[in-house]
Structure 1
Amino acid sequence: MTEFREQDLTGARFERVSLRGATFTKVYLNKADMHAVDLTGARLHGVLFNESRMRGVELIDVEISGVLHNVVVNGVDIAPLVDAELNRRMPERAKMRPDDGDGFREAWAILERLWEGTVARARTFPEAALHRGVDDEWSFIQTLRHLNFASAAWVDRMILGNPSPWHRLDLPWDEAPGWDGIPWDREARPSLDEVLTVRHERQATVRRVMESLTDEQLASEVTRTEPGWPQEEGVPFKECLRIVLNEEWEHRLYAERDLTALEKEN
């Protein structure tokens, strides 16, 4: 098996080449041209398709999960259609992009209630099952660890100013570049209760922020220049909270989906 590591193949040309079963990790295909390419059965995770153009493609039995914005299919922007249908199926979803303090408080209360039910469902599974990923996705416990990371990053660090709010079990996203001083142990196997202890602390922190929100805060911006992540300037205060709401909403759906898959396996 040929391996290409840490190589610059900019401008390379592949013609009549078979790459069946090949694995691409952290590969840059920016502005690549692909003609008569067969991607049948391909699995793509954490892939950017920004400003991409596809002509003469066949999308049959294709499943797409991700962020959609200005996605034009056969002349129709499908992003608003998908958004409207998801809101129809799950009316509370529309409340996950609030603008005022009451809206943020309501959204967080909804999420805590929904997650309480999801955790109760997870407790009906053997602990070993909660460490099992479905279809190469995170396990239930890894999902909770990632949400702990997200709230630490966007609330404890960006909003409250703690430059290093991390717990050893926090889990960044798989494609993250990695940073000094930020834990990242994907293979750790803590108990559900151990992870929930951290989660309850993080949820309480977010709740306190939500309870004390003011219009002045929501109109402000936050900046963090200390080493670590996020390291950004001029981020809208409310956008930090919206990121946490979105993470909580989407990952609960993934968790419920995977718990259902585990039930079917058993």
Structure 2
Amino acid sequence: MGDSDFTGLRGAEFERADMTGERFTTVNLDAATFRAGELNGVVMRGVEMINTSVDGEIRNLVVNGVDVVPLVEAELDRRHPDRRTFRPTTPEGFREAWDLDERLGESTVARARRLPEELLHESVDGAWPFIRTVRHLAFATESGVGRCLLGDPSPWHPLSLPWDRMRPRPGVPHDRDARPPLEEALALRREATAMMRRVVDGLTAVQLDSRTEPLVGPGRPDEGETFPLREYLLAVLDEEWWHRMYAERDLAVLEDQD
């Protein structure tokens, strides 16, 4: 099929566009880029997917009749044996996981320190720069632990950074343009990790199986919501693992540029 068979939308950009329920038939998406998108419940039939890369939270992905997610998860565990530690089921397991997270994080920071600081503000292939990632991890811990588990209605530092898909909302920091020095960002992150350390060090089995109190005040997550405590601790660990992996991937690219 030639280019003349398609309506010309090459180079178009769709930002914060809600296309729920849309149908795409006989479309060419070669070399398209999807960032911070949601593809839940998508059905693809008769498609070609060659040389395609997908990173993100993926569950129940059926390819040619096979749920490939368990296969991917098993391969990731084989490549990264430490990853299993980040799925604890007991208070002792959560303490072990956070011990490991702190050690791995220190190794990643040591790697970043060897680069010129200006490179740590640079994006690699559209991903977050290293210092922005550090700010986001602080936000994730402040939200998951400070707000949800400890009940602080507004636990965020002004430099903490939510994910790109989150629209600005009252009381929640959202400064995308800030360029703090590495040490300032790391100090922010240390405060957040110390909060998580205090929680896991005192964690009991009864607490682990409890639910959080309804959230108070505007913010993210939303006011009035409540969560299983275990679920949010696991979410913090998952966020830590993946963002460190992304940072390591991008640091390798920056090292080649240096």
Shorter-chain TM-score tier: over 0.9
1:236-251 paired onto structure 2 within 5 Å: 236-251=228-243
Within 5 A, what are the aligned runs for 1:206-221?
206-221=196-211
- Partners of 2:112 and 2:6 lie apart in 1 by 48
* CA deviation after TM superposition for structure 1 residue 227, in Å: 1.3
Residue correspondence of structure 1 range 1-266 to structure 2 within 5 A? 16-222=6-212, 223-231=214-222, 233-266=225-258
Q: How far has the Cα of 1:50 moved from its partner?
A: 1.0
* Cα deviation code 1:7-35 (max 9, x no counterpart): xxxxxxxx942111011111111111111
Residue 235 of structure 1: SS of its match in structure 2?
A: coil
State the percentage of identical aligned residues: 49
Alignment partners' CA distance in 2, 1:237 and 1:28: 32
Give the letter for the 2:218 counterpart.
P
* Distance apart, 1:234 and its partner CA: 3.0
Q: Normalising to structure 1: TM-score of the pair?
A: 0.92
- Which one-letter code corresponds to 1:105 in the other structure? R
AA aligned to 1:228 is: G
| Residues in 2 aligned to 1:34 and 1:264: alpha-carbon distance in whole angstroms | 40
Matched AA of 2:226: G
Q: Which runs of 5+ in 2 are unaligned?
A: none
TM-score (normalizing by structure 2): 0.95
Cross-structure match for 1:12 = none
SS of equivalent to 2:191: helix
The runs of 5 or more residues in structure 1 that have no matched partner are: 1-14
Aligned equivalents of 1:240, 1:208: Cα separation in 2 = 15
Q: Distance in 1 between matches of 2:93 and 2:74?
A: 19
| Pairwise CA distance, 1:233 | 2.5
CA distance in 1, matches of 2:98, 2:151: 21
State the SS of the aligned residue for 1:22: coil
Please give the alpha-carbon distance, in whole angstroms, between the structure 2 residues aligned to 1:262 and 1:227: 38
